[in-house]
Structure 1
Amino acid sequence: MSEQGERALEVERKYALPEGVEMPDLRELGSISEPRTDTLVADYHDTAELTLSAARTTLRHRSGGADAGWHLKTRAKGDARHEVRLPGTRRHVPAELRAEVAEVLQTRALLPVVRLITTRTTTELLDDAGVARAEIVFDEVDGRVLRPGVNRHVQWVEAEVELVGDEPEETFADVEKVLFGAGLQRSPWASKLAHVLDGVEPATRPDMDAPAIRAVAWVMGTHVGRLQSLETGVWEDAPDAVHQARVAARRMRSILQIFGSVFERDRQRALRQELRWAGAMLGGARDAEVLIEEFSNLLDGLDSDQIVGPVHDRIMDGLRARHGDAHTEVRGELTGERWDGLLAELAEFVADPPSGKRSGRADDVLVALAQKSVNRVQERFETAKADPEEDENWHDVRKAAKAARYAYELLAELGHESAEDERRKWKAVASTLGEMQDARLLADELEVFEQQARDAGEPLETYRTLAGRLATMHDEALSTGRRLVTELI
């Protein structure tokens, strides 16, 4: 996560080989190396809107050859491009490279958009001491667009000349005498990616008339982008980053739970399970953040004469230590294979979603599935009313209300006219019952701190004052939540 990457200025020109034209004998240039042939497989990543391509920027992961790994190339002057390289086999886009183009991307998701398979023959132009001056490559390229519904598969051959080190650009002229003499021409394409994407339009936001699978995948993609954009912030423990990353994971898991039937069952279930893991992994640090904030507010709300003993230090020092330990665990997971696999699978899933048993227009399929989420709220509400003293039942109502909120949030993003009103209503229910749940969790934590204070022989009055306030908060939130649910069902 903290790698800076190798930076270089790439100075390169590309050449097309018209039909019938072959590479010349490069020995005409002078001393050269023995040719080396490699097979390169490169996956290019961009947003659905092709944001990076519009900025003449390329981001790829390539296997094979001497510089396998991740490469980000951005514009420079003339034939030059700035390049950042990160070696390794990480499957998902490294946060370090995404940060390089964060201003262009904002929170858009980076997805695999093109795969290139290249058979490359490399010959080095050498100086009198046998040191490379330039690389001359002949590429046989097979390129395919990965977007569903885009049947774009092209094959071609081309050549490239890349200067090595401080080799002057006049060397291009020497090489081009031989290349042009054999019939090669300057390529009309700035990059291989531009060649493959020729004629491919940026994707546009779907609406309720779009196929249901495309509509859900698009909204999923907005949350994938948020999660990707938050990775560095989570690593650095930036304010609210862990919280928002956990929210993104929970939203995606909820979307798959409610609308999962539009996707292939086994794959969406496996993804849901990994999102559950991610939410739990982030949960320790996030829960500590919430406890720090809530206890700080509670203590600040007391009069000075109500704080007896070292209550503030005992609670806040203990929670800060817990948060530090939890964040260390999060950092360990961010560098692990499971996190890498989750982010890679999310990008691949959104880029090319696997079809499930439910299909049709979003308006025909998704509205009915959203209504089912409301039905689940009603079922859990009936259970809770039958045993109103059991807080866990009300927590289940809250989770169902949050799912309904996310369901109508998705419909609202697709332009459904009444979905925003429904989203706001279920958000109010989930938020209010969330306050009840928070009060219960705070009370449980308070008991632990009170016992620690008792064992240390410290005064207990403040803990009992806080316990009374939390009990009131719990009961008021539960009463309001019950009323809101009753009004909606």
Structure 2
Amino acid sequence: MAETKREIERKYEATGGTELPDLTRVPGVASVVDDGVMELDAVYHDTPDLRLAADGVTLRRRTGGSDAGWHVKFPVAAGIRDEIRAPLSDTLPDALAGLLRSRVRAADVVPAVHLHSSRDVRRLLAPDGTLLAELSVDTVHAESLLGGGEASWTEIEVELADDTDDETILDAIEKRLKKADIAPSNAPSKLARALEETGAAPRPPTTPGKPGTAGAAVLGYVREQIEAIVALDPAVRRDLPDAVHQLRVACRRLRSAFKTYRAVLDRDVTDPLGEELKWLAGELGAARDQEVLTERLRAALDEVPKTLRLGPVRARLRIWTAARAADARRRAVDALDSDRHLALLEALDALLADPPLRKAARRDAPKVLSRAVLKDHDRLAGRVDDALALDPGHERDLALHAARKAAKRARYAADAARPTLGKPAKKLAKRVKAVQSLLGEHQDAVVARATLRELAIQAHAAGESAFTWGLLHGREEAAAAEQERELPAVWARASAPGIRAALSR
């Protein structure tokens, strides 16, 4: 069984002769307990081309110390990583292998670095004996197992105590260390330093295309989305908050970029990839849509006075949610485990390695990107006009949903162009996002009404009152009508001539 630990730590340069200052002078530290020296032996594993290290991910098998076993570490922010642990075994546990699948794929996982550390540990305690942080002086010897050399160094590591994310004590310790001329380390991890000093560090990725051209601009954005898809795969498997939503967004952004910038990238290559991205987003969608709808209905029930909540409405909603949530999550993980998903990731890598650039890719980025953004904005204008021309009802609901999709595409187009077009693209993206949000609320109300009708039918069949479900249905109808009334004004701000003119300059 794997367990997760949030690791918040800072590293500092040291030598064998570095002397630590008196750490009891750090505010909040009452005593320092010396736990002695422990010997740690770890073999870091990776693919032969170091895919994990290139993404800042580490996989190690450690013996010695209190946490012997297999560890995978994912970067969260500077100095913060999530460590997932599994018991010591001869082979990589399946629970960890799945988390690495989007990066490793069909490649072998082999020993890459052997690292031995002599760790001199000190516990920093508060006046009541509570552990605040651990400071260790590590004497490290690293040996590359992929044809590199060897290296040795000494470093100081300060790690925040478990179950807290308040870095105040780390700031105070750092201040004290700096006064003793102990400087922060430039290496984010022992593995990164070992690879660098043994001459085996992975090469950073490069974006094809001449700087300043449309090809370079579009491929830079495409690379960002592909990297997000790869990185969010293990986050979905870990069931992290908002992970499914963010992975769907990355799929949609990439698919949208293929459509918007078809003058730059050949459709014969990108259209099939777009269909596969649509499939993946659809498989993930069941989990995300279920999550959003459940939150909406729970919030709606909370707003209903107790005197109007007739029957076991909360229990019925829990039953309805539980029956669908497990299936939705299983569907999402099955998609990530599929050969089809791996084939998509390989195809996306191939696109970056040999991009299908068209003639427009060699032109200056501002002109090509602004034309593409304005074209998507024109498409959105047509969808909004079509929807507003219809009478309220089912057909208008469908037209507004189509306009919502067009708004997403126009917004994503502007977001992709922001590094090139600057403030005009940023302003357009913000205005179009307001349109998208309004239309998203409208579509959520439409979907909620269908679900509320289903819940009312189930309640009635079970001999329960359907009154509360009908009440919520009416509220959703009123909310959708209000959003339709607001749309012309919101759209007017997003279609102001000045915004379009700024993009055309």
TM-score > 0.5, shorter chain as reference: yes
1:9 and 1:311, CA in 2 relative to 1: closer, same or farther beyond 3 A? closer
2:469 counterpart of 1:463: yes
Query: Counterpart of 1:263?
Result: 265
In structure 2, what is the equivalent of residue 348 of structure 1? Answer: 350
CA distance in 2, matches of 1:96, 1:464: 44
Q: Give the number of the structure whose alpha-carbon radius of gyration is greater.
A: 1
Change (3 A) 1:301 1:365: same
**Matched residue, 1:233:** 235
Contact 1:291 1:319 in 2 (8 A): no
Q: What is the root-mean-square deviation of aligned Cα atoms in Å?
A: 4.1
Q: Is the 8 A contact 2:51 2:103 kept in 1?
A: yes
Which of the residues 395, 398, 415 maps onto 1:392? Answer: 398
Alpha-carbon deviation of 1:301?
Answer: 0.8
Evaluate the alpha carbon distance shift between residue 348 and residue 304 of structure 1 in structure 2; reply closer, same or farther with a 3 A threshold: same
User: Is the 8 Å Cα contact of residues 44 and 193 (structure 1) preserved in structure 2?
Assistant: no
Q: Which whole-Å deviations, capped at 9, do the CAs of 1:354-377 have from their partners, x for residues lacking one?
A: 212422121121110010000101
Q: Which residue of 2 aligns with 1:430?
A: 436
Structure 2: tracts of 5 or more residues without a match: 5-40, 61-71, 74-88, 108-145, 151-194, 496-505
SS across alignment from 1:262? coil
Q: Tell me what 1:450 maps to.
A: 456
**Judging changes above 3 Å, is the alpha-carbon distance between structure 1 residues 86 and 439 closer, same or farther for their aligned structure 2 residues?**
farther
Cα distance per residue 1:61-84 (max 9 Å; x no partner): xxxxxxxxxx99xxxxxxxxxxx9
- Of 379, 384, 397, the residue aligned with 1:376 is 379
Instruction: Give the drift of 1:416.
Output: 2.0
Change (3 A) 1:314 1:362: same
Q: Tell me, what secondary structure is at the counterpart of 2:423? A: coil
Report the CA distance between 1:94 and its aligned residue: 6.5
Q: Is the contact between residue 257 and residue 413 of structure 2 (CA under 8 Å) also seen in structure 1?
A: yes
Match of 1:272 in 2: 274
1:306–1:462: 8 Å Cα contact kept in structure 2? Answer: yes
Name the aligned partner's letter for residue 433 of structure 1.
Answer: L
1:315 corresponds to: 317
Is 1:297 the counterpart of 2:309 in the alignment? no
Q: TM-score under structure 1 normalisation? A: 0.62
Q: Tell me: higher relative CO, structure 1 or 2? Use CA pairs within 8 A at least 6 residues apart.
A: 1
Query: For 1:289 and 1:434, how far apart are their aligned partners in 2?
Result: 15
Structure 1 residue 333, shift from structure 2 partner? 1.7
Aligned equivalent of 1:122: none
Using the TM superposition, give the Cα deviation of residue 249 of structure 1 relative to its aligned residue in structure 2, in angstroms. Answer: 0.8
Counterpart in 2 of 1:329? 331
2:413 to 403, 407, 411: 407
User: What does the per-residue CA deviation read over 1:207-256, in whole Å, with 9 as the maximum and x for residues that have no partner?
Assistant: 9x622122111112222222222212211322211111111111111111
Tell me if structure 1 keeps the 8 A contact 2:225–2:253.
Answer: yes
TM-score normalised by the chain length of structure 2: 0.60
Deviates more, 1:265-274 or 1:381-390: 381-390
Q: Is the 8 A contact 2:252 2:281 kept in 1?
A: yes
Unpaired runs of at least 5, structure 1 = 12-40, 60-70, 73-83, 88-92, 99-108, 116-138, 140-157, 162-187
Letter in 2 for 1:338: R
Percent pairwise identity: 31
2:317 partner letter = I
Residue 485 to residue 43, structure 1, CA distance change in 2 (3 Å): same
Matched, 1:476 2:466: no
SS at match of 1:237: coil
Matches within 5 A, 1:62-461: 96-97=99-100, 203=206, 210-359=212-361, 360-389=363-392, 390=395, 391-414=397-420, 416-461=422-467
